Structure 1
């Protein structure tokens, strides 16, 4: 019996080496949870916001400022051209046109003509709406 085992082992083809794989680009690290220290009712300053972004990305505060300001400049440019800008699962920023209409002076009650205008508007996403409702 031992001979049969040896013969079977001898019949196996030598293992082939797998072809060398090309090096893949390093995958982006998994996003870390954002740590915020603000409590309800407090206003977050731009400086505190930039520090949180810098900590989250692991970069200097000046680099976070450059990235954030660049992002906001691009969003502003698109909105000013009339585009609706979707920001992740937060919502959409757009410009809405308001028609001319008749209103009333609350003190005298007399009719007042209100001109047509444009305003910046934000519409929250369904994901954000559900998160806020919790």
Structure 2
């Protein structure tokens, strides 16, 4: 079974170690990257993280859906969905 996912605190600590910086600087850098990605994707753009993948927003049209509890069908409005396409380099490193 896999280990628990890395928390933000653990990610900031690892980033600080890689950057040879303190945790406050690493935390600010991580927050800035997340803010940039959120802003770009919410405006309809896409962000490619080399070696990781591409994060983008996809629009879904109106469609008929079914409530599994009652079996009732109804029209669901068009909406947007955030998608992530994983880079081949990351897939290859996991499967190696």
**TM-score normalised per structure 1:** 0.65
Greater percentage in strand:
2
Q: Given the superposition, is the C-alpha separation of residues 110 and 71 from structure 1 closer, same or farther in structure 2, using an over 3 Å criterion?
A: closer
Larger Rg: 1
- Cα displacement (A) at 1:111: 1.8
**2:69 corresponding residue in structure 1:** 107
- Cα displacement (A) at 1:109: 2.4
**TM-score normalised per structure 2:** 0.88
2:15 counterpart of 1:53 = yes
Q: Runs in 1 of length 4+ with deviation above 3 angstroms? A: none
RMSD: 1.7
Q: How many residues align?
A: 96
- Cα displacement (A) at 1:110: 2.8
Name stretches of at least 5 consecutive residues in structure 2 with no aligned partner: none
2:86 maps to which of 124, 127, 130: 124
Name stretches of at least 5 consecutive residues in structure 1 with no aligned partner: 1-38
- Cα displacement (A) at 1:95: 0.7
